[in-house]
């Protein structure tokens, strides 16, 4: 049984390995809504009181709603209303514009993932699950949807269901990639499965899946880091130390210091303000919201990368720290 501190380390570092470096372009609604007061303060009139700031946000929301009464499919207004509701911390109010955006952009899974997150926040677990299923029917390798669905299952105390979903997807990856090359990123799924194993205290299975990922690409630092953390958490410090060194050597420059801090058993310092923080909040992954200003629907690459993107809500909304 892992000690509390070891479980904290596992949660943080497995999230680093499986989320922050997968180019998942979402911040969980939990984090977005927790920062809503700071958002309102930063973007409303600087001298305005909290009450006045909320009144200003409500006026903005009503303005978007008036536009939508005339033009119910106006995506600029829908995204503006979504942004405003997020800044208000109004999860329930964000669901309706998200549902419309998801319907208007069926080829973009981003809004549907956000919709699932919002439904989960308001206690509609089945609605959230159905949203994830809808994505995975047509995009079985969508890492954003898989991550969200896995987290939902873990929240419901269903780790075996989460593991089964990932294992089934991995088993079908070779066939799927023959039909549509690159449709399933095997390494990303291995990292996610390793994280779930580690969080459940199944260190041997976590190490085995990381070893598979390392064999596939020996230059990818993420599975090396994941294996190092699991080994150390299991008390196998001598085996873990050289892996931390290797992970730091392979990692992009912006992550080296944090990996070295982890190797030293320290809490990693926040990333530089100019760089998206690769360390997720302990309660969830660090996934920024899609940028609604670039196009009618956010553009997201389905392929995992080794450095996070800096997408965020723009316009009047601030970057989410």
What percent of the chain has pLDDT above 70? Answer: 69
Residues in the chain: 321
| Separation between Cα atoms, residue 82 and residue 89, nearest integer Å | 11
DSSP string, 260-293: HHHHTTPPPPPPPTTS---S--TTS---PPP-TT
Residue 35 covered by a domain: yes
Domain end residue (candidates: 138, 153, 180): 138
Shared-domain flag, residues 174 and 242 = yes
- Could you tell me if 98 and 35 lie in one domain? yes
Q: Is residue 297 part of a domain?
A: no
Same domain, 147 and 16: yes
80 and 56 both lie in a single domain: yes
Is residue 308, in this structure, part of any structural domain at all?
Answer: no
Same domain, 92 and 154: no
CA distances for 22 relative to 16, 142, 143, 190, angstroms:
9, 11, 8, 12
Helices marked H in 105-142: 110-121, 125-138
CATH code for position 229: 1.25.40.10
Nearest Cα neighbor of 289 from 149, 144, 175, 180 is: 144
Say whether both 117 and 249 belong to one domain: no
**Residue of higher predicted confidence among 169 and 285:** 169
Residue 235 lies in a domain: yes
Angle between helical axes of 186-199 and 221-233 (0-180°, round to 10): 10
Residue that is last in its domain, among 138, 171, 187: 138
In this predicted model, which residue has the larger pLDDT, 64 or 43? 64
pLDDT for 270: 59
pLDDT at 319 over 80: no
pLDDT score of 45: 56
Query: Residues with Cβ < 8 Å from 246, sequence gap 6 or more?
Result: 221, 224
Place of tokens 């023959």: 178
Helix axis angle, 75-88 to 50-70, nearest 10°? 160
pLDDT digit string, tens, across residues 74-117? 999 999 999 999 998 899 999 999 999 999 999 899 999 999 99
Are residue 84 and residue 224 in the same domain, yes or no? no
- Most confidently modeled range among 19-23, 84-88, 273-277: 84-88
Q: Which two tokens stand for residue 135?
A: 């994505």
In a domain, 303, yes or no: no
What's the Cα-to-Cα distance from 28 to each of 31, 121, 152, rounded to whole Å? 6, 10, 12
> What confidence score (pLDDT) does residue 277 get?
34
> Are 8 and 33 in the same domain?
no
DSSP codes, 50-93: HHHHHHHHHHHHHHHHHHHHH-TT-HHHHHHHHHHHHHHT-HHH
Mean per-residue pLDDT of the chain: 76
| 248 falls within a domain | yes
Long-range pairs for 249-255 at CB < 8 Å and ≥24 separation? 249/221, 250/219, 250/220, 250/221, 250/224, 251/221, 251/225, 252/306, 252/307, 254/278, 254/307, 255/221
- Quick one: pLDDT band at residue 47, thresholds 50, 70, 90? low
CA atoms within 13 A on the CB side of 308: 29
Encode pLDDT of 130-187 as tens digits.
999 999 999 999 999 999 999 999 999 999 999 999 999 999 999 999 999 999 999 9
CA 238 from chain center: how many Å?
Answer: 32
The pLDDT score that the predictor gives to residue 271 is 52
Q: pLDDT grade, residue 239 (50/70/90)?
A: very high
* Domains held by the chain: number: 2
Is residue 275 within 8 A of residue 308, CB to CB? The reply is no
So what's the pLDDT on residue 228?
A: 95
In a domain, 197, yes or no: yes
Over residues 57-84, the mean pLDDT reads 94
One domain, residues 98 and 60: yes
89/134 same-domain check: yes
> Residue written as tokens 């720290």?
321
Cβ atoms of 277 and 321 closer than 8 Å: yes
Query: Do 173 and 186 meet the contact criterion of CB atoms below 8 Å apart?
Result: yes
Banded pLDDT at 281 (limits 50, 70, 90): very low
Q: How far apart are CA 287 and CA 280, in angstroms?
A: 8
Asked if 18 and 149 sit in the same domain, the reply is yes
Q: Is residue 44 situated within a structural domain?
A: yes
pLDDT of residue 267: 75
Residue 207: domain span: 1-22+143-269
* Buried residues in 292-312 as b, exposed as e (16+ CB within 10 A): beeeebbebebebebebeebb
- Using the predicted structure, report yes or no on whether residue 301 has a pLDDT greater than 80: no
Same domain, 93 and 209: no
Q: Which of 86, 120, 138 is the last residue of a domain?
A: 138
Which of 284, 153, 200, 206 has the alpha carbon at shortest distance from 2?
200
């Amino acid at each position: 049984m892992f000690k509390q501190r070891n479980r904290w380390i596992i949660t943080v570092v497995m999230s680093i390995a499986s989320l922050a470096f997968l180019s998942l372009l979402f911040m969980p609604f939990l984090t977005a809504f927790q920062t809503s007061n700071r958002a309102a303060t930063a973007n409303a009139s600087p001298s305005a009181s909290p009450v006045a700031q909320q009144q200003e946000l409500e006026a903005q929301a009503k303005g978007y709603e008036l536009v939508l009464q005339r033009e119910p499919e106006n995506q600029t207004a829908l995204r503006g209303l979504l942004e405003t509701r997020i800044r208000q911390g109004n999860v329930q109010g964000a669901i309706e514009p998200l549902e419309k955006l998801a319907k208007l952009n069926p080829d973009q899974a981003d809004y549907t993932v956000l919709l699932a997150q919002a439904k989960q926040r308001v206690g509609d677990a089945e609605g959230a699950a159905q949203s994830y299923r809808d994505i995975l029917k047509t995009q079985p390798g969508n890492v954003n949807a898989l991550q969200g669905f896995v987290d939902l299952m873990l929240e419901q105390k269903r780790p075996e269901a989460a593991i089964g979903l990932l294992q089934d997807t991995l088993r079908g990856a070779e066939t799927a990639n023959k039909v549509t090359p690159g449709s399933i990123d095997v390494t990303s799924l291995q990292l996610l499965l390793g994280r779930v194993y580690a969080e459940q205290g199944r260190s041997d299975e976590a190490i085995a899946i990381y070893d598979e990922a390392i064999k596939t690409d020996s230059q990818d630092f993420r599975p090396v880091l994941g294996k190092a953390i699991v080994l150390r958490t299991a008390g196998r410090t001598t085996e873990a130390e050289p892996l931390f060194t290797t992970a730091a050597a392979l990692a992009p420059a912006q992550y080296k210091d944090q990996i070295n801090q982890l190797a030293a058993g320290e809490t990693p310092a926040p990333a530089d303000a100019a760089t998206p923080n690769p360390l997720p909040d302990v309660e969830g992954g660090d996934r920024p919201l899609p940028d609604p200003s670039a196009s009618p629907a956010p553009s997201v690459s389905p392929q995992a990368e080794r450095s996070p993107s800096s997408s965020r809500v723009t316009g009047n909304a601030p970057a989410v720290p």
